[in-house]
């Protein structure tokens, strides 16, 4: 990957990473993690990879030409997008620099961002229609090189959006989400009994908020734990037993083929420069929740400073109409 320069962090193995942050307390029931991703590349460089996210998320591509594979053909997309949770590899392509920002949505907070159930958007993406929400997200990310400002603006516009929607988080989904992350081997029937609801009601609630059935959510969580370990992103004290969650080598092989269409050995030796940052954002959240006092052991030494705006970067990466960091025009426009 000649000319591939990560600007938001790298792992000890040299993999490019996003920069992500825990949401403020008032947004935590709705947002899992905010992120900024910047990889400097030549304008004509083509990167094809895939994504596999267990939560829905909103992504705002800022620079680069983005496409996704739909029915065997690449289709371009631009501007703020709502991605549904993904059960299988989701092919994506970027031409030019990889520059985007956004946030992962907690399943219990799904209806804070969508009027339709999550299963209607599972394994799909939908453009956010022109209007106030679209404009607010573009404004939040229009000077993405200043990531502190970008995070602050994203907090602001998400907070204002949630006030308008007045949606309450779903507590059943929040409880199930934690179980899926902490103990994804538990039988779904046992979880339903613990919640005091029928299996059918749990199925319905999870489909509406996660996009997939409870068993799929648990299987995907086990798989992503193992994929993260293989990428060197294990959370101390939380992921040591990831491999023991699979019965044997054939079970592990079957799950890798199901979710990413390759064997574990193929996955180990295949670079995934777009999947890996998403895995790392997931692991950062797990670390913050389950091992908050442990540093992320996968991060390379000498990570980016607190301000990307201070980092020298090629002029081709800068938007022509980027706002100055001190610009406050959006504060009035989005109040």
282 and 184 in contact (C-beta within 8 Å)?
no
pLDDT the model gives residue 302: 58
Cα dihedral sign, 293-171-192-229:
negative
What distance lies between CA 317 and its chain's CA centroid? 23
C-alpha to C-alpha distance for 94 and 17, rounded to whole angstroms: 16
Tokens of 290: 């389950």
Note the pLDDT of residue 3: 67
Of the candidates 140, 141, 225, 123, the one whose C-alpha atom is nearest the C-alpha of residue 184 is: 225
Tell me phi and psi for residue 219, to 5 degrees: -60, -45
**Global confidence as pTM:** 0.88
pLDDT below 70 — which residues of the chain?
Answer: 1-3, 241, 302-335
pLDDT at 303: 60
Domain-by-domain residue ranges, the chain? 5-299
76 beta partners: 67
């Amino acid at each position: 990957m000649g000319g591939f320069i990560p600007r938001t962090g790298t792992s000890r193995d040299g993999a490019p990473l996003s920069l992500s942050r825990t949401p403020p307390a008032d947004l935590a029931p709705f947002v899992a993690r905010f992120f900024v991703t910047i990889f400097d590349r030549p304008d004509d460089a083509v990167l094809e990879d895939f994504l596999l996210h267990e939560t829905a998320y909103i992504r705002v591509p800022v620079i680069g030409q983005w496409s996704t594979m739909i029915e065997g053909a690449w289709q371009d997309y631009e501007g703020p997008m709502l991605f549904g949770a993904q059960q299988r590899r989701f092919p994506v392509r970027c031409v030019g620099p990889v520059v985007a920002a956004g946030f992962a949505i907690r399943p219990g907070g799904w209806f804070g961002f969508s009027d339709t159930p999550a299963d209607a958007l599972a394994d799909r993406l939908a453009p956010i229609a022109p209007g106030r929400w679209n404009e607010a997200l573009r404004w939040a990310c229009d000077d993405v090189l200043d990531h502190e400002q970008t995070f602050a603006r994203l907090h602001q516009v998400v907070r204002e959006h949630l006030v308008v929607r007045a949606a309450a988080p779903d507590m059943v989904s929040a409880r199930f989400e934690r179980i899926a992350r902490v103990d994804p081997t538990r039988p779904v029937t046992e979880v339903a009994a613990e919640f005091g609801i029928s299996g059918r009601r749990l199925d319905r609630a999870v489909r509406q908020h996660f996009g997939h059935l409870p068993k799929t959510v648990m299987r995907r969580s086990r798989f992503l734990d193992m994929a993260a370990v293989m990428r060197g992103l294990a959370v101390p004290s939380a992921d040591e037993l990831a491999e023991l969650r699979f019965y044997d080598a054939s079970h592990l092989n079957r799950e890798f083929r199901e979710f990413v269409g390759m064997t574990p050995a193929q996955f180990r030796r295949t670079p995934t420069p777009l999947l890996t940052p998403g895995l790392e954002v997931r692991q950062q959240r797990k670390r913050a929740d389950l091992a908050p006092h442990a540093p992320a052991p996968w991060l390379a030494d000498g990570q980016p400073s607190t301000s990307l705006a201070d980092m020298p970067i090629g002029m081709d990466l800068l938007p022509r109409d980027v706002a100055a960091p001190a610009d406050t025009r959006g504060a009035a426009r989005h109040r």
